[in-house]
Amino acid sequence: MSTRPDLPEALGRFLSYHRDELGHSPLTAKGYRADLEGLLVDDQGVLDWEAFDLPMLKRKLAKTLRSGGAATTVSRKVAALKSFAKLGLREGWFEVDPTLALTVPKKSKRLVEVVSAPNIEKAIASEMALEDASKEDVPRQRHLRTRVLLELLWGSGLRLAELVGLDWSRVDLLQATLLVMGKGRKERLVPLTDPAVQALRSWKSSGASHPTVVFPGRTGRIGRSTVEREVERALGLPEGAAHWPHALRHSFATHLLDGGADLVSVKSLLGHSSLAATQVYTHVSVERLKKAYLQAHPRA
């Protein structure tokens, strides 16, 4: 086994490994590193190779579950540990994989959240009305921007990171398409709805946009929290409902399937690597059909 670097240095190399070799977004890479930093500390909170001890790690993961942590959170932490072990084996930091006996907890089967089409249409119409009624540039531009955000999240099924990272060079308003950089730095071409094209044209000429970045912010690009806050405001959701931008992507897929789109096409539009990730939306559609049946049929 080669000499191990200091653990902070090893975690830095792990960050580069995810970002540069695996093609993960900087946010995803930092998330994995943060998970490891929370696990690989001793009783004094100092990063220590000795903390990479299987019984100790199992106790920490079990404590996360007992304290109310979701199974998905623990699964992500286990994935970070396994990825770090894989890099460590390659670099000679470990002689054997110390995570082989770590198992991923079963995820609870929970239907994805979907916003109804009428509710989204109502939110978009409301933003347009507020935009038209605004007499000052700043509020008018804010409502226009929110309308564009809703049109892209619902109309094109973008992930939040894809939306934030969107550049004008990848927007073709004549062909009504977007070239999106998805997970693993995989590109895909997605269509734009006619209302989205019109909204983007208005946004581009509003004076609030940027020559390069579609949605500029104080530090270069609009912040994810800003998008989350604007979406929950527009949809009339309770404060802190930060999962709702992604729920519009769920709605995009579900509404397509409800309208008769085939699963393979929806998979391609979402940028999923396998059909298994897309099939969850078929369950949503079936549940919606069951609910409609139970509400409408006299014998149900």
Quick check: is 185 catalytic?
Answer: no
Quick check: is 159 catalytic?
Answer: yes
Count CA atoms closer than 13 A to 95's CA, side-chain side: 2
Q: Which of 143, 159, 255, 267 is catalytic?
A: 159
Return the CA Rg of the chain: 22
Spatial separation of the C-alpha atoms in residues 165 and 157, rounded to whole Å: 14
Quick check: is 246 catalytic?
Answer: yes
Q: Tokens 């933003």 correspond to what residue?
A: 127
249 CB burial (10 A radius; 0-12, 13-18, 19+)? buried
In a 3-state reduction of DSSP, which class is residue 274? coil
Quick check: is 32 catalytic?
Answer: no
Q: Which of 188, 229, 246, 288 is catalytic?
A: 246
Quick check: is 143 catalytic?
Answer: no
Spatial separation of the C-alpha atoms in residues 291 and 300, rounded to whole Å: 10
Helix (H), strand (E) at residue 152: helix 137-155
Torsion of the alpha carbons at 141, 146, 147 and 151, rounded to the nearest 10: 140
Q: Which of 145, 147, 221, 281 is catalytic?
A: 281
**Strand order in 177-181's β-sheet?**
171-172, 177-181, 187-191
Q: Which of 4, 13, 183, 288 is catalytic?
A: 183
Spatial separation of the C-alpha atoms in residues 23 and 38, rounded to whole Å: 23
User: Which residues does the annotation mark as catalytic?
Assistant: 159, 183, 246, 249, 272, 281
